Amino acid sequence: MSGGYMGRILRVDLTARTLNVESTPEEAVKRYLGGKGYAVYTFYQYLKDYESKGILPADIDPLGPENVLIFATGPGTGVPGFPCSGRYHAMALRSPLTGSIGSANSGGEWGPFLKFSGFDAIVIEGASEDPVYLSIVNGEADLRSACDLWGKNVFDTCRILTRKVGGKNKSVACIGPAGENLARMACIVNDEHRAAGRTGLGAVMGSKKLKAVVVSGEEKVPVAEPDKFREISRECLEKMRKNAVTGEGLPTYGTAILINVINTAGGLPYKNWQTGVNPDAEKISGETLAETYLTARRACWGCIIGCGRITSVKTGPFQILGTEGPEYESIWALGGSTAVKDLDAIIKANHYCDEFGLDPISMGSTIAAAMELNERGYIPKEDLQGLDLKFGNSAALVEAVWRTAYRTGFGKYLALGSKKLCEIYGHPELSMSVKGLEMPAYDPRAIKGIGLTYATANRGGCHVTGYTVSSEILGIPEKIDPLVPEGKAKWAKLFQDFTCVVNSTVNCLFSTFALGVKDYADLLSAITGWSLTEDDLLRIGERIYNLERVIINKYGFDGNDDTLPGRLIGEPMPEGPAKGHVVELEKMKEEYYKLRGWINGKPSSEKLKELEIEL
């Protein structure tokens, strides 16, 4: 097996209660790397198998035993000296929130520790009748009863299982009550505060009665050319230390520093995207977080940035003596979109998201949608059961989060996500989502390229599929005008393809603020022993993105679903530097499809042939 891989994959059938160890498929990882790429490759094999048995992909129940959940690392994960390689990628054949593919990425320590336990990936199929957890210690895997853990929150589950398992390098990925109760935006949380947040993967675990996966081990990741790798690693680490973003900006302020700059550009969605200017941005900014709440920093395994924030709310009704976060996205979704300007309440709501296992982006956005529905008089009073869902109501925000996790009161509606919620109350246009996934914290009327990324992202409204904001606002790697639609297709495609590489390596996207495709090619070549060029890597990324697209096409998604909420296409931005702007989506999409070689959102047979994707 090539360097970078442990060479073993664990396949678990929860229905049959069997665990099988398989070899990591060398030919497949040469074409798809690992992480996301490996999961997409494996999903396609599952779909072919299902189709041969007469099960149509579109009929797969995301909460049924036929759904498949994968935790995967890549060749960079857990390699000391590979900058920021403390991550894993989790995917589900189908997301219970969207019906598209489920996909999320997380930091902390769990990814590297899975490799140290002896495995590159875990493939989980079937469903258990009783709660179980999966234990993997030094290459030995075992399913154990989780009856005594069912009902416990994330923090307790992590602490109990960490104590139970022996050895070094212990880490727990688990669900909280939200996942157990099948809240559609439930996430998988590892190391207490790091989460594979998006697309409801926690509900998939809940449906399989899989409470947790605990890993521990002391194996080392093999490196094909250690001397060469050390040299390249040293250069890359030096680049990151000297880079103003990875060396100073992110360590000092974390991600929340974006609040003011995005608001200044008029792209910070406010009150469920009614405008892109938040008059109270300063109160919830990264600067305020650092001045008032920050107590320490936290870094993921192998990270020299350390963007994690340890914070505390010292007094008041939302007091928390120690928590982690919130991140930029969490502050925006729980605060900006809901117009809550009380950072105490936002920190508490974010803490609850971690404690109960909820994705703060979808959670906050769903609450914001409910607030608009309520303020417009579309929700009967009796449905709310006393929950005063008005924009800016801090107490209602915090209550809505725990009610969602336990699906009590109005929480039973919120737990369905904004798309279903708005459909139930007859106003689907108020769900600020794409393919059912709530969009993150950038209004594309002010940042056009990110609108194209949202619309064409395979998992739905997502910024980390292709972060064009980096060029449009931050000027990395080069500055482009956010208000101009022309030329954005090229950037969206490039960011999407490179991000597939990063998520298949599996590494932190923040490394790319300092490192480029060439750095990744050099690092991965030295680790694996393959000779990878920049073109090779981008081709792998493009292959992954296209195969993922083929999969979602099988669920019925096509060009008509590559769209944005009507508000962004039809309602001009009312104020700020983007005043009067809408997203010229069709124009950008036409250029994008041409570059991608897609017809109505589907890869052409020529494109698939060119990328050597065998269907």
- The contact set with other proteins (CB under 8 A) reads 243-245, 248-250, 252-258, 260-261, 264-266, 282, 286-287, 307, 327-329, 463-464, 467, 469-470, 473-476, 479, 481-483, 509-510, 513, 576-578
**Shortest spacing between CB 513 and other proteins, in angstroms:** 5
Residues 354, 346: Cα–Cα separation, whole Å:
12
**Shortest spacing between CB 25 and other proteins, in angstroms:** 32
- CB nearer other proteins, residue 295 or residue 385: 295
- CB nearer other proteins, residue 172 or residue 473: 473
Residues 479, 133: Cα–Cα separation, whole Å:
47
Number of C-beta neighbours around residue 55 at 10 A: 14
Nearest alpha-carbon partner for 429 in 383, 373, 382: 373
Which ranges of 376-417 would DSSP assign to H, the alpha helix?
A: 381-384, 394-406, 411-414
**Shortest spacing between CB 240 and other proteins, in angstroms:** 12
Sheet with 308-313, side-by-side order of all strands: 294-298, 308-313, 320-324
- CB nearer other proteins, residue 131 or residue 249: 249
- CB nearer other proteins, residue 122 or residue 508: 508
Buried b / exposed e over 318-331, threshold 16 CB at 10 Å, is bebeebbbbbbbbb
- CB nearer other proteins, residue 257 or residue 300: 257
- CB nearer other proteins, residue 205 or residue 473: 473
**Shortest spacing between CB 215 and other proteins, in angstroms:** 26
Number of C-beta neighbours around residue 452 at 10 A: 29
- CB nearer other proteins, residue 116 or residue 253: 253
- CB nearer other proteins, residue 29 or residue 265: 265
**Shortest spacing between CB 191 and other proteins, in angstroms:** 19
**Shortest spacing between CB 383 and other proteins, in angstroms:** 36
**Shortest spacing between CB 264 and other proteins, in angstroms:** 5
Nearest alpha-carbon partner for 43 in 549, 589, 597: 549
**Shortest spacing between CB 484 and other proteins, in angstroms:** 8
**Shortest spacing between CB 436 and other proteins, in angstroms:** 22
**Shortest spacing between CB 388 and other proteins, in angstroms:** 32
Enclosing H/E stretch for 38: helix 35-52
- CB nearer other proteins, residue 282 or residue 423: 282
Residues 4, 8: Cα–Cα separation, whole Å:
12
- CB nearer other proteins, residue 171 or residue 511: 511
- CB nearer other proteins, residue 282 or residue 388: 282
Residues 581, 575: Cα–Cα separation, whole Å:
9
CA distances from 279 to 269, 275, 442, 474 (A): 11, 11, 16, 22
- CB nearer other proteins, residue 339 or residue 473: 473
Residues 414, 352: Cα–Cα separation, whole Å:
15
| Residue pointed to by tokens 């499809």 | 593
Buried b / exposed e over 370-398, threshold 16 CB at 10 Å, is bbbbbeeeebeeeebeebebebebbebbb
Residues 498, 280: Cα–Cα separation, whole Å:
35
- CB nearer other proteins, residue 479 or residue 594: 479
> If 0-12 CB within 10 Å is exposed, 13-18 middle and 19+ buried, where does residue 579 land?
middle
- CB nearer other proteins, residue 2 or residue 252: 252
Which three-class secondary structure state does DSSP give residue 1?
Answer: coil
Query: What radius of gyration do the chain's Cα atoms show?
Result: 22
Buried b / exposed e over 219-230, threshold 16 CB at 10 Å, is bebbbbeeebbe
**Shortest spacing between CB 337 and other proteins, in angstroms:** 17
Question: C-alpha dihedral over 225, 228, 229, 235, to 10 degrees?
Answer: 180
Cβ atoms of residues 247 and 256 within 8 Å: no
Residues 236, 82: Cα–Cα separation, whole Å:
8
DSSP classification of residue 469: H
**Shortest spacing between CB 457 and other proteins, in angstroms:** 14
Buried b / exposed e over 85-112, threshold 16 CB at 10 Å, is bbbbbbbbbbbbbbbbbbbbbbbbbbbb
**Shortest spacing between CB 254 and other proteins, in angstroms:** 7
Residue 199, token pair as written in the block? 């697309």
What residues does 189 pair with on adjacent strands? Answer: 174, 195
**Shortest spacing between CB 509 and other proteins, in angstroms:** 6
Which three-class secondary structure state does DSSP give residue 301?
Answer: coil
